[in-house]
Amino acid sequence: MEIKDKLDVLCVGIAVADILGKPIDFFPEKGKLILIDEIILNTGGCAVNTGIALAKLDARVGIIARVGNDGFGDFIISQLKKYGIDVNGIKRDEKLKTSATIVAISKEGERSFWHYLGANSNLSLEDISEEFLLRTKILHIAGTNVLPSLDGKPTAILLEKAKNFGLITSVDTVWDAKGRWLKNIEEALQYIDYFLPSLEEAKAITKKENPEDIANFFVKRGVKNVAIKMGEKGSYVTDGKNSYYIPIFPVEVKDTTGAGDAFSAGFLKGVLLGWDIERCGLLGNLLGAFCIKEIGASAGIPTWEEVLNFFIKKNFNLH
């Protein structure tokens, strides 16, 4: 895919190399070694995870991110190319290495992380050309709170520009280890069509506990639609008028890595299809369920044909 091609979704945000180990339920004493069943190198980061999942769902995807001039950077770009994703927006950072995360997965599938911010910290407005914006339908910012050169006012500027170009805008957050929360996103809220935080992130931003109160907080500040990812409790979605609690699809959990990004991809695929917010949330939940059945953020993501076959078997109304 070349930059001249039209895109469905442009994912702007973090690209990460994930080194996953399982099972890790405790750590060896210093100087000692324990054996585990698996160590896997995968692509990661919200922009990459969401982009790959959307590409598997037959969406045309571009990614804007920064990686280092190193082996991890080579790996991420090569993997994205396998899915036909436009990588022309990925910049090589000559000063910082590719962002990486060590993911320790417990026997129950829960994760602990050690993260190196790396090249992601230098992603800025200057990296996002108007040419890309003019060739896409949806701008999805994936990784707010760990993009220090883009977070805050620059994100608001980017989203306002996207809205002026007639784009649909979407934002997904990650945990803010620096504790800025509302200050970091408040100015941008008025330009967001779809806000897709996790429940814990949304609680930290709003200082509220109830999903309805949380969603109302965002809607009052200009967000058009809110989808709150609630893990094993499913999701809560609202367009400000209609609201729904959407249950999970029960599956055997192997690894929850990337589940939130899979939800975002499924949800945005529904948006591309013109589905109402309830069905978008349902598709998001389904993608999250597929994701956690396998190790890594992308291995379990189905093709669009597999999704359609699933819904046909469940007598789901696709129209």
Class (C level, CATH) for 7-13+46-96+120-313: alpha beta
Residue indicated by tokens 């945990």: 175
Residue 1 clears pLDDT 50, i.e. is over it: no
Sequence spans of domains, the chain: 7-13+46-96+120-313
- Mean pLDDT on 246-251: 91
How many other CB atoms are there within 10 angstroms of residue 181's CB atom? 19
**pLDDT surpassing 70 at residue 184:** yes
CA distances from 304 to 37, 109, 288 (A): 31, 26, 14
Give the tens place of pLDDT for each residue, 278-299.
Answer: 999 999 999 999 999 887 788 8
Mean pLDDT of the 215-237 span: 97
User: What pLDDT, on a 0 to 100 scale, did the predictor assign at position 128?
Assistant: 95
pTM: 0.92
76-125 residue pLDDT tens: 999 999 999 999 999 999 999 999 999 898 888 777 888 898 999 999 99
Q: What is the mean pLDDT of the chain?
A: 93
> Alpha helix (H) ranges present in the chain?
46-56, 71-82, 130-133, 153-164, 182-185, 199-206, 211-220, 259-272, 277-291, 304-313
Instruction: Reply yes or no on whether the pLDDT at 4 is more than 80.
Output: no
| Mean per-residue pLDDT, 28-33 | 93
Distance CA 78, CA 122 (A): 21
User: Across residues 216-235, what is the average pLDDT?
Assistant: 97
pLDDT of residue 3: 45
The half-sphere exposure of 83 on its side-chain side, counting CA atoms within 13 A, is: 29
Confidence of residue 319 (pLDDT cuts 50, 70, 90): low
Residue 2 pLDDT > 50: no
Q: What's residue 318's pLDDT? A: 62
From the CB of residue 231, how many other CB atoms can be counted at a distance below 10 Å? 15
pLDDT at 258: 87
What percent of the chain stands above pLDDT 70? 98
Task: Print the SS3 string covering 55-116.
Answer: HHCCCCEEEEEEEECCHHHHHHHHHHHHCCCEEEEEEEECCCCCCEEEEEECCCCCEEEEEE
pLDDT at 66 over 90: yes
What percent of the chain has pLDDT above 90? 81
71 pLDDT above the threshold of 80: yes
SS3 161: helix
What phi, psi does 315 have (nearest 5°)?
Answer: 60, 40
The Cα–Cα gap between 61 and 314 comes to 28
The residues near 174 (Cβ < 8 Å, ≥ 6 apart) are 14, 46, 143, 144, 145, 146, 201
